Amino acid sequence: MKQVEQWDKEYVWHPFTQMKEWVAQPQLTIVGGEGVKLIDDEGRSYYDGVSSLWVNLHGHRHPTINRAIVEQLDKIAHSSLLGLINEPAARLAAELMEVVPAGLKKVFYSDDGSTAVEIAIKQAYQYWQLKGKAKKKTFVTLANAYHGDTVGTVSVGGIDLFHRIFKSLLFPSIQVPCPNCYHCQLAKTEESCAMACLTAVETVLKERHEEIAALVVEPLIQAAAGMLTQPKGYLKGLRELTKKYDVLLLVDEVATGFGRTGKMFACEHEGVTPDFLMVAKGITGGYLPLAATFMTQEIYEAFLGDYGEQKTFFHGHSYTGNPLACAAALGNLQVFREERLLESLPGKVVQVKTALDKIGKLKHVGDIRQCGLMVGIELMADAKTKTPYPWEAAVGARVCAEARRLGMIIRPLGNIVVFMPPLASKETELAEMTAILEKAIRSVTEDGAGQDSPAVFI
Ligand SMILES: *Cc1c(COP(=O)(O)O)cnc(C)c1O
């Protein structure tokens, strides 16, 4: 075993990983990147088919972002935002205000998606305390929601596998049904349902709005749950209902933000401005950890008062507003402008859809869900009767192992194969990536060829 792998296996505990399996199997070491490819320590290259876990937008080593970081590094790597201004953080705030939905006026920085959501939860809670409506303390969340891994964000999460062990550690929240049609929890069919999932939300808000602070939602698509897409109009419906019942709307765009759904933010698809909007993953183009929580003027002003009133939001992190990360984020926005990235997306979305239509016809593909360049392919033992593969068969993991052998790194969510290419992927690259996807699915579910391939841990 190489030295690096030895160190890793002796000392490093990997995220979301069964370490017993990890140390028992050969693992890949990434030493470089080039465009939308990752390069291993033996010089082999692989398509970065899930954008390095949903963060990378413009490929690796993009000259504009590299330059932005290096130029800032020559000035200073870090100074605190506690009691001091730094130029990248201030400039980035101004530039972000140009692209977020109208009505969001302030930004609070942090380091990752979990903290961005955590901050929105705490501010929404404190907001009602400050407004003299102290009873409004509870959060409404969707079944299958994922908002991060801290205790606060797990409290508004709903992925049983990840969250059940921590149950007694969490604050209680109210769960409404997951709005995905393929997995409809209300046993409706799309034609006849009249969006019963939205009616279920209204029932809760109507009854309990006096104790409800906010509703938290991933817009258009619940990504970590398995790319569970929502019916058109659901998000807009949530905005109308939360307004009607005086409940704040917290929209978690950590996964969907920065072009991933085909528009800069998912909210734009339905003309929604939330009370809070949270972003992270793509904000630096996938270069450095940075997150942002946006809020309206109304929220911000509730916290204003004299020093002695102690209305302050007592929250911050050591690296809040880190200049290097903010410089990377400025580079990211520059690439969006200079390369007219948003204009290039509709064509790519259609290209991927065409390739997926073909994959959708494969025998063991139960459902394909696409939202912009976010894709989930759900595999089924029997697609017709919606009979899932047993968990132990690790079919999703086997498809990903096979894809890796064919030259693309992807990761599954259970038996759902996730495909989320960098937005900058060219037409030829997308064609090769979707071809690998199809080949890997076929070889594992039809030919049986990949069935002995080692399951990378999911
Ligand atoms: C990834 C993700 C988070 C958590 O972000 P981290 O940076 O991993 O803490 C929160 N919400 C959504 C929707 C996500 O996809």
* Cβ atoms of residues 364 and 447 within 8 Å: no
- Any idea which residue has 């793509």 for tokens? 282
Same fold, 3-61+342-445 and 66-339: no
Residue 280 in contact with ligand 1 by CB distance below 6 A: yes
For residue 224 and ligand 1, the question of a CB distance below 6 A is answered with yes
Lowest mean pLDDT among 19-23, 160-164, 178-182: 160-164
For residue 457, what are the CA distances in angstroms to 9, 10, 396, 450?
Answer: 15, 18, 10, 15
Q: Is 223 in the pocket of ligand 1 (CB under 6 A)?
A: yes
Q: What pLDDT score was predicted for residue 88?
A: 98
Percent of the chain with pLDDT over 70: 97
- CATH class for domain 66-339? alpha beta
Q: Tell me, in angstroms, the distance from the centre of ligand 1 to residue 114's CA.
A: 6
Examine the pLDDT at 190 and tell me if it is beyond 90: no
Residue 148 Cβ contacting ligand 1 at under 6 Å? yes
451 pLDDT band (50/70/90 cuts)?
A: low
pLDDT range class, residue 452, cuts 50, 70, 90:
low
Q: What is the pLDDT of residue 162?
A: 82
Confidence label for 450 from pLDDT (cuts 50, 70 and 90): low
Rounded to the nearest angstrom, the distance between the alpha carbon of 225 and the centre of ligand 1 is 12
Distance 74 CA to ligand 1 centre (A): 31
Give burial (CB, 10 Å; 0-12/13-18/19+) of 385. exposed
Give the pLDDT confidence of 310-334 residue by residue, as tens digits: 999 999 999 999 999 999 999 999 9
The alpha carbon of 303 is separated from its chain's Cα centroid by a whole number of angstroms, namely 29
Name the band, by pLDDT with cuts 50, 70 and 90, for residue 458: very low
Q: What is the pLDDT of residues 293-313, one digit of tens each?
A: 999 999 999 999 999 999 999
Which residues partner with 174 through β-bridges? 140
Q: Is 219 in the pocket of ligand 1 (CB under 6 A)?
A: no
pLDDT in tens, 222-270: 999 999 999 999 999 999 999 999 999 999 999 999 999 999 999 999 9
Domain boundaries, the chain: 3-61+342-445, 66-339
Ligand 1 and 220: CB distance under 6 A: no
Closest atom of ligand 1 to 115 CA is 9
Indicate whether residue 260 lines ligand 1 (CB < 6 A). Answer: no
Cβ atoms 257, 266 nearer than 8 A:
yes
Q: Which one of 3.40.50.300, 3.40.605.10, 3.90.1150.10, 3.10.20.30 gives the CATH number of domain 3-61+342-445?
A: 3.90.1150.10
Determine which of 158-162, 440-444, 447-451 has the lowest per-residue pLDDT on average.
447-451
Read off the pLDDT of each residue in 62-74 and give the average, rounded to a whole number: 98
Q: 171 near 155, Cβ under 8 Å? A: yes
**Cα–Cα distance, 190 to 367 (Å, whole number):** 14
Mean pLDDT, range 173-194, rounded to an integer: 88
Is-above-0.85 flag for pTM?
A: yes
Q: What is the mean pLDDT of the chain?
A: 95
Rounded distance from Cα 244 to ligand 1 centre (Å): 29
Residue nearest to atom 15 of ligand 1 (CA): 255
The residue whose CA has the least distance to atom 5 of ligand 1 is: 113
Ligand 1 centroid from CA 271, angstroms: 23
Q: How far is the CA of 288 from the centre of ligand 1 (A)?
A: 14
Residues of the chain with pLDDT > 90, as a percent, come to 93
**Residue 111 beta carbon below 6 angstroms from any ligand 1 atom:** no
Cα of 2 to ligand 1 centre, how many Å? 32
**Ligand 1 center to residue 132 CA distance, Å?**
32
Tokens 């996964």 belong to which residue?
Answer: 255
pLDDT of residue 189: 75
Mean per-residue pLDDT for 418-439?
98
pLDDT digits (tens, 9 = 90+) for 118-131: 999 999 999 999 99
